[in-house]
Amino acid sequence: MTNARAAMLDRIRSGLAGDERVERTADYDNIPRIYIRDGQLDEDARLHLFLERLRDYDTHVVQTTGASLPRTIATVLRKHREKNVIAADGLPAEMLPQDFVFIPERAASLDDLNACDGIVTTCSVAIAFTGSIVLTHGLGEGARRLSLVPDRHLCIVRAEQVVETVPEAFSRLAECATQPITFISGPSATADIEMTRIRGVHGPRFLDVVLVR
């Protein structure tokens, strides 16, 4: 056995040792956390920051009330001439406009995902400081592929889901720590070596957020 392989196996055995894991957990808990963990802004300031960050990322933002939500969704979809729209499974029917025919996620094939005009989902939490929306892919949020393939994503965010800081978001996501989680900060975009910005490489090219207050 080579020295390198022996050293690597020794480190693995050490890492798997019960007492060692307890010590490392204690060490992790004792790490000083001097960064801002709790938000300082009131609700209005927090939501203002969230909307400001979204617009910086070229996100189309609309604010509405719970009672006006279906009408607002219909307005946004028609403004972008979306007709073939997939609704995430588990999305409450009362959220959606009754005069608009949606494709249920469970009935959508990969070809449907590729050819549709857009999708509609909810989210688990949103972060004002980073302008991020977080999907844990539960009811109403769609499977991971739903947030990656279609060209446009309309996400419904409720005011009470918006936290100020990243640590606050992770506290809310603690129960989902071992599940697939998707963070969305504006429309998908990347740049090549010549700094040419390209949209839609690894997700929707357009993001619409309907904030329900």
Of 84, 140, 88, 139, nearest to 112 by C-alpha is 84
Backbone φ and ψ of 43, nearest 5°? -60, -45
- Note the pLDDT of residue 18: 58
The pLDDT tens digits along the chain (213 residues) read 568 888 888 888 776 665 555 566 777 778 887 777 888 999 999 999 999 999 999 999 999 999 999 999 999 999 999 999 999 999 999 999 999 999 999 999 999 999 999 999 999 999 999 999 999 999 999 999 999 999 999 999 999 999 999 999 999 999 998 899 999 999 987 877 777 777 777 789 999 999 999
Residues in the chain: 213
pTM score of the predicted model: 0.84
pLDDT of residue 19: 56
| Placement of tokens 């100020």 in the chain | 164
Taking the C-alpha atoms of residue 59 and residue 112, their distance in angstroms, rounded to an integer, is 24
Contact status, residue 210 vs residue 74, Cβ threshold 8 Å: no
The three-point CA angle 153-158-162 to 5° equals: 95
The predicted structure's pLDDT at residue 20: 56
Q: Is 167 exposed, middle or buried (0-12, 13-18, 19+ CB in 10 A)?
A: middle
